[in-house]
Amino acid sequence: MRGKLIVCDGSNGAGKSTVLEHIKDHLNSKNIEFISTREPGGTEVGEKIREILLDKSYSNMCSTTELMLFAAARAQHIHEKILPALEKGIHVISDRFESATVSFQQYGRGLPSQIVDQLNDLALGDFRPDMTIVLDLDPVVGLERVRSRGEGLDRMEEVDIEFLERARQGYLEQAKSYPERFTVIDATQSLENVVEEALATIDKQI
């Protein structure tokens, strides 16, 4: 049987990494075969592209370049890593995916939806994740959490709060349009509740 692609995505600072760790522990405890990966990145080429995308010294990168780089990393990711795993029956857990491009480049940067759809289609064909878990959080709270980690902000985080608000709306709109393949979790809840909801979503899929 073909594996499934489950994505964890959402607002910066919403606890994605912690939730992903719990998902991995959960699947391991059930002896379910899976790989975990991330976007941008997940392959050697993709990780190089990630360095460019997140590098603060490229503050003059235009939105079209940004869109094409995310799509380029995605094309490599799907062909080199994700589809081969799924075809072997191995599940894939990805930290972000195409939903982030719709949220950040379309809703956030304001690029036209037809162009963003075309780039996602170019990278993915008609393939889409089986389920995308969106951790939803007010970006003001999210950025505060990111800052409190003391890691500094990357190029995609050094933006105005309105950009992040628009991106958040982008996730909520996608979830409204495709309820069968998006689950929104309120990330203001206790971590315990967020993890519980995320694992329940995973159990329904896998």
Scanning 76-84, 94-102, 125-133, 186-194 for contacts with ligand TMP by CB under 6 A, the matching segment is 94-102
| Interaction residues for ligand TMP, span 155-184 (CB under 6 A) | 156-157
Distance, in Å, from the CA atom of 174 to the CA atom of 102, rounded to the nearest integer, reads 8
The count of C-alpha atoms lying within 13 angstroms of the C-alpha of 197, restricted to the half-sphere facing its C-beta, is: 19
- CB-nearer residue toward ligand TMP: 27 or 143: 143
Q: Does residue 197 touch ligand TMP according to CB under 6 A?
A: no
Region 50-79 residues binding ligand TMP, contact defined as CB under 6 A: 70
From 6, 19, 39, 182, residue interacting with ligand TMP (rule: CB under 6 A): 39
CB of 135 to ligand TMP, least distance (A): 11
Long-range pairs, 139-148, Cβ under 8 A, ≥24: 139/11, 139/12, 139/13, 139/164, 139/165, 139/167, 139/168, 141/13, 141/188, 142/11, 142/12, 142/13, 142/14, 142/187, 143/12, 143/13, 144/13, 145/13, 145/14, 145/15, 146/12, 146/13
Q: According to CB under 6 A, which one of 8, 37, 77, 104 is a site residue for ligand TMP?
A: 104
Q: Does 132 bind ligand TMP (CB under 6 A)?
A: no
Q: Residues interacting with ligand TMP, by CB under 6 A?
A: 12, 39-40, 70, 96, 100-101, 104-105, 156-157
